[in-house]
Every structure is written in C-alpha cells, then in structure tokens.
Amino acid sequence: MIKNYFKIAWRNLIKDKVNTGLNITGLSVAFAVAILLGMAAMYQLSFDGFHKNGDAIYKIVKTQQTPKGPQAGTVHPAPFAPSLATEVPGVKHISRYLQDGTLAIRGDKEIDMDIVWVDQDFFSMFSFPIISGDANTPLNNLSSVVLTKKAANNLFGTTDVIGKPFNLLINGVEKPFTVSAIAEDIVQQSNLDFEIAAHFESHRDYLDLKDQWDSQYHDVYVELEDGVTADNFEKSAWSYVDLHYKSNIEMLKRDGASADSAGRFINLYLVPLTDVHFATLKSGFVEISRSLPYLILGVAFLILFIACVNYVNMSIAKSAKRLKEIGMRKTLGAQKKQLFFQFWSESLFVFLVSISIGVLLSFAFVNDFKTMFNTNVNVDMLLRPSFLLGLTGVLLLITIFVGGYPALLMSRLGTIQSLKGKLESTGSNRVRDVLMVFQFGIAILLITGTLVLWGQIDYMRNKDLGYDKEQVISFPLNGKLNSNTVIDLLRDELKGNPDIISVSGADNNLGLGRDGSRSSSKIGFEYEGRAVITNFLVIDHEFVNTLGIDLVAGRNFESAADSLGVVINEAMAKELGAEDPLTAQLEINDGIHYPVIGVVRDYNFKDLDRAIEPITFYISREWGITYGYAKVAPNNMANAYAALEHTWKKLEPNAEFLGSFLDENIDRTFRREKTTAKMISSGSVLAIILSCMGLFAMSLLIVQQRTKEIGIRKVIGASVGSITYILTKDFLKLVLIAFIIASPLSWYILKEWLQNYTYRIDLSVWFFIGAGAIAVVIAMLTIGTRTIRAARANPVKSLRTE
C-alpha cells in the first residue's frame, strides 16, 4: 500500500512539473537559508558553553548607587580577589583576569601576542586543555607561562618547548619567562582569548597596586562551591562590601545617592559565565540580551513559514485540476483516509527532496555565508546531535501540519462537488487569505527593518564625531622602543614629508583598529567636597591638533614638557560645575593638584550607542602611550600611508604595522549592526521572492476558477483594464491589510531597538510608506502578467473551458 502511495505520488508530481518545481525550489532555498541561519544562531548561543564547570563559574560585577543613578563595572582592585576568597564562604576557585598585549622575543624573532595575567586557579576553573607540560599547576611560579599551540609554533616553530625560555617586553624592559605548559588553541566560541597566560603577580603594575583599593583595573571570575547559589553568595558578600568599601559608601551618601530597594549602596553581582557574552552595563545594571541569535532564529522561522504557506496555497491551487480525479476515486470506493494518505505522501516526497537539496545547498554556500555575515560557523555544526534533532523535529512538524492541511482539505471534498469540477468558496478561502496576509505582513516587516537598520548605520557612519576621522591614521605602538620615543622619532623622520601633517599618540584607540584591542581608563577624585569620576587619557602634546578637536576655552598643550596641567572636554567642565572651568584644580595623582588649562569640544570617544562622558587629557612620559596617530594630507592618502608604514618599518623592523584610518575603525564598531542589517536585508529579499511565488500560485487558481466569467465579461464589452482590475483587487486588498497590520508592529519593534542608541535617526513615516509601496509594486508585477494574459485571451476559448 505504502509503495503504491509513493508510486502514484511520483507520477502526479512528474505530471505537473511547473508546480512541483516551484514547490521544491522554494522549500529547498528556505530550508538551506534556515539551516545556515540556525547554525549562526547556535554558534552565538554556544559561547563559553564548553567549560566543564561552567554552571558554577561567574564574572563578578560591582554595582553602586550614585547621585546620577546606578552604575556598574567589571573591574576590581588587586587585593579584591584574594580577600574575597578568604573572607566570604562559598569560593571554590577564584582568578583575576587582565587582558593585554605584549611583545614576545626569542632571539631575532619579535611577535606581538595577546596575553592574559591570571591566578593559579585559572586553569582549574576553565576547560582550556593542557596537552603537554604541567597540567595541574602550570603557573606554579612567577616566571612560568602557558602558550597555546599556535603561539608556540609562531615563536619556536614547534610545540616541544616545555622548559624553554623567552622574553616578554614589560615596561620597556625584557624580562625572562619559561614555558611550563602548552594548551590547545582557544576555540572561537570563547570570550576568554589568549596566546600567552602568565601569573597575575608578574604584571608590571602588581607590586605598586597590590594593596591599593582605589585602583581598579582587572576582571575577576569565581567558581562557587557545590550547593552555593549566586543569590546566596551575593548576600553573604554584603558584610565584606560594607567593610572594604566603607569610605566609598560614605561618599555616596554624602553626595546624595539613594539606596536601592534593599537599602544598599554598593553590591556584588554574579553574572553566569554563559551570560557574559550577552551582558551589557550601559544602563547601570547588568542586562542580559540574546536578541541577536533569537532574531536570527526568528528570521529563519519566518522564511520557513512563508515557504510553507506557499506550499499550502500552491497545493490548493493545484487541487482544482484534480477535482475529477478525487470524484472518480470516491465513486470507486476510496475512503477519506486513503485519499488523505495519497495526497500526504506527495507532500512527504516533496519535503524529503527539498530538505535533502537544502542540506546540500547549505554545505555548498557555508563559506560564502561566513564571509558575507562575518560569522565562524562550520559544517561540523550540522552533525551535532542537538542540531540534527532540532532539524528532524522541524521537518516532522512541517510534514504533519503543512503537508497534512491540503491533504485533509482535498480528502474531505464531496463526491458530487468533485465530479462537477467545482472548488467552491468555503472556509478554506479565508484560511488562504489569512496566510497571504501573514506572508506579506512578514515581508513588509522585514523590508521596514531593512530600511531603518541601514538608515541608522548610514547615520552613524556619516555623523560628525567631533574629530577628523577621514584623514587620521591610528596604529598600535607594538614594538620594542619606548612608545613616546617612537612618536618623537616618527615626527622627526616625517616632518619633511608634505603628505604627513602631524604625528601624535595616546594610550587608547578611537574605534576598533586592526589589532582588535580596546581599552579605557577612569579615575575618581575629590572636588569641592564631592566625588568626581572622569575618563582619563594620557596623550602626546600634538593629540588635539592631530585629531582636529576644537578648543573652546583656554589653550592646548604646547610641548611634551607641558605636563603640569590638564585639558578637559565640555562634559567634564559641566561635571565640575564651575562657572569658569579654567580656574579648577584637579587632584589627579598622589595629592598633586593640576590646573585646567583648556577645554575642548565634546567628541565621541566611545561607541555611538553611548552618550559623551567626561574625559581628561594628561601628559606623562612615565605612564606611556599605546597608539600613534598621523594626520595626512587629503590629496594623497595612499602615499601618506605608505610613507608612514615605511618609516615604522625602519624604526621597528620586527613589529607589524597595523595602521588604519579612523573612519575604518569607527566602521568596525558597528560590525554587529551591519551583520544584522545584512541578514534582515537578505531575509526580506527572500521573503518577497517566496511571497511572490505564493501570489503567482494564487493567481493561477483565481484565473482558472473565473475563466468563464472572464469570457462572459469580454463578450459584453469589458476592457482588458477593467478585467485586470477585477482579478487583482482582491490580492491588493490582502497586501494593504498586511501593511496595516505590519506597520504598527514594525514601528513598535524598531522604536524599541533604536532606544539602544543615544544618537539615532528619527523613525519617519516614509520608512513604512516605502516598505508598503515596495510590497505593492512587487505584488502587482507578479500577478499583473498573469491576469493581463487572462484578460486578453480569446473569449471563445474562455467560454469553451466549461
């Protein structure tokens, strides 16, 4: 019996090649896209999920109530972790974590590497497999380091390096270290990334800061004892916080801060390790949002939904041609169950073929998908049991419900009705209309999202940030020479080059450079009886001029020796509250007061989803700088870049030059938004194509059902235009209904999304009108050709059809 079902199904599918081809094409593409998007979402959701003890590991965040509202931060002082482990019960392992860059030196080989400074518990907490060397206590002394396989091969040319020495450049001085272990390369789904792991107490600042509670500069991860929950630990830490942050709490009370609902001013909050990748602290709270992977999954399911609706509508359209077949089968004694399984077997065959082609397409285009959407998915993810189980479940649901509905509808048709060849308007028409509305509603939603997302990206890309981003190159100072010395040498070497206008430096980059490193520094001090917090930037005296930042009051730094004053921005001047900020004296370093000598215009030194904060510029050759900046002439930027790179290679022959223009750096900071926009754009294009395939199928059905009506109307004098209008108005009504439903929904979603950005576009009505117009025009083009052809047909042929 089953063999007979499939044999007849094959014959029927082959007989109607057009509909079968459209169904398989639409479903195959939808399955392929859904698989690729599902892989991208699973990749995002799998971050830090590979650690064996991950369920018990947390990142510690300190939250505090300030006069301006709650604030949250992930950095802590050096004595925090050791004292927390001894004074608060429930700690199984704890480790400080400080990510940095360093120059690894072995003989003539110099390589810039990512290093993390951690405690001995680090490798007991996290599952970074040690493949050779000391697996139990790899950081058993201050000179021991752990290298990844890749780092060992790059530095030594082999992984057989246990016990071998090399040097790290620390504070401009080469210090010897010994390889104690080799770890597997860090997987891509890890927020903790390094090439070298070294003992935290070997860090250059440790000895100066080991007892300082007011200098916060590293993260802390903790693994709790079995049976200890995060909530219990947070409450157990209250007395610890009250003891060690007593002076901070008193200052918050003095400055007018309001306690939280528990009556507290400072708390420790534990963020689960698997939530760290999705955590943000922008609003003063820890917010966990997996919106991006869920959005990707949502787009995948919407595309599948549209393809499935198409299949339902096209199956119903095709059923009009098989009414007499159904009537004859029923006359000969076929039961509803037999008819149902016959039609359902056709659907099953189509779905199996489509999913097979979809899997092959996903394999074929996975590399293009990775490049286009900047993701690191791979085909191995397809073979994971969880992914295969989910894919099988989706296929079963689609087969049962999507294949079952048209099969059930056709098996329930009456014998007389079928023999007459009449597919009368019943509740099924309403179902089809609802499905069509859903289809175009989804398409309009995705089109609107595409327009708004690209509008926001274009706004961020072209916004005036308060400095010259088109003519300035930034580059990390990753060589052996002292950073200030390098800037001085570059300035001297390039001063005669007309393509180089100025050279400067700072201890932070603007945007995201080619090295992928970002950092920021903040300091707090007392000013007129209250606490003031400011971002802090060590700069070279040419920094303001090189970046083209406007000076609004006072003067700029005049030379490298001009280190007895500071320059602040307008936000900092407002924070100080002084009528004349140039009269302010700031206690920045060891009780020394520095006068404010100048005020610059506010500029966006952080991402555009954040408001401009107070910042203070300071010159110190002792503290050093980490990035160089070069302003180039606009008429010959390529030659200027080449000259800068050549001079760098001359001064630092073993260090890679990683320069990039600031507009490129800024563009990298909203890489996530561009990836999202690409996915939404691709989804909207595919949604429109699939929806049009459904419209085409519906137009075939309507024209077939109304063939005699068309002939009669032409005989009594109806024009081609009037007939075309009659045939298309019902479709246009459905598109307009979809627009009315989708517009307020998309407005709400996009309005909420734009709230994430301090600087954002206005949500103009033209975005929605444009999306609706695109949908209407495409729908008209899809059904217009078919309906016009029907309207122009010979009425004699139309009347002969019945």
Query: What are 599-637's pLDDT values in tens digits?
Result: 999 999 988 878 898 999 999 888 778 899 999 998 889
Which residues lie below 8 Å from residue 415, measured CB to CB, with a gap of 6+?
A: 327, 330, 331
CA separation for the pair 207, 79 (Å, rounded) = 11
- pLDDT of 63 higher than 60: yes
Give the pairing type, strands 173-183 and 144-148: parallel
Confidence of residue 419 (pLDDT cuts 50, 70, 90): low
- pLDDT of 427 higher than 70: no
DSSP H helical segments within 628-764, as ranges? Answer: 637-651, 662-669, 671-705, 707-715, 720-754
Identify which of 330-344, 646-660, 693-707 has the greatest average pLDDT. Answer: 646-660
Selection from 101, 103, 106 nearest residue 158 by Cα: 106
Confidence of residue 60 (pLDDT cuts 50, 70, 90): very high
Q: How far is CA 399 from the centre of its chain?
A: 33
Give the global pTM: 0.84
Q: Which amino acid is at 585?
A: Q
pLDDT given for residue 744 in this prediction: 93
State mean pLDDT over 198-214. 89
Position with higher pLDDT, 712 vs 648: 648
- pLDDT of 576 higher than 80: yes
pLDDT given for residue 421 in this prediction: 55
pLDDT given for residue 202 in this prediction: 92
Position with higher pLDDT, 335 vs 89: 89
Identify which of 41-45, 339-343, 560-564 has the greatest average pLDDT. Answer: 41-45
Confidence of residue 3 (pLDDT cuts 50, 70, 90): low
Long-range contacts of 482-489 (CB under 8 A, 24+ apart): 482/172, 482/624, 483/624, 483/625, 483/626, 484/540, 484/560, 484/621, 484/624, 484/625, 486/628, 486/651, 486/652, 487/540, 487/625, 487/628, 488/560, 489/651
C-beta separation of 727 from 702 below 8 A: yes
Confidence of residue 479 (pLDDT cuts 50, 70, 90): confident
pLDDT given for residue 112 in this prediction: 86
Give the pairing type, strands 57-66 and 69-73: antiparallel
| Lowest-confidence segment of 49-58, 140-149, 263-272, 307-316 by average pLDDT | 307-316
State mean pLDDT over 159-188. 91
- pLDDT of 482 higher than 70: yes
Beta bridge partners of 196: 115, 147
Position with higher pLDDT, 525 vs 200: 200
C-beta separation of 441 from 738 below 8 A: yes
Position with higher pLDDT, 762 vs 622: 762
Give the residue carrying structure tokens 């180089």.
500
Give the residue carrying structure tokens 């998007």.
37
- pLDDT of 687 higher than 90: no
As a dihedral over the C-alpha atoms of residue 509, residue 511, residue 512, residue 517, rounded to 10 degrees, the angle is 40
| Angle subtended by helix axes 671-705 and 427-462, to nearest 10 | 150
Supply the DSSP symbol for 213: S
CA separation for the pair 23, 354 (Å, rounded) = 9
Selection from 17, 10, 44, 48 nearest residue 128 by Cα: 48
pLDDT given for residue 768 in this prediction: 92
- pLDDT of 519 higher than 80: no
- pLDDT of 422 higher than 70: no
Q: Percentage of the chain surpassing pLDDT 70? A: 87
Give the pairing type, strands 500-506 and 109-118: unpaired
Q: Return the exposure string of 220-247: e unless at least 16 CB atoms fall within 10 Å of the residue's CB, then b.
A: bbbbbeeebebeebbebbeebbeebbee
C-beta separation of 93 from 175 below 8 A: no
State mean pLDDT over 459-465. 89
pLDDT given for residue 674 in this prediction: 84
CA separation for the pair 602, 619 (Å, rounded) = 19
Other CB atoms within 10 A of residue 770 CB: 14
pLDDT given for residue 1 in this prediction: 52
pLDDT given for residue 792 in this prediction: 65
CA separation for the pair 174, 196 (Å, rounded) = 16
Confidence of residue 801 (pLDDT cuts 50, 70, 90): low
Other CB atoms within 10 A of residue 760 CB: 18
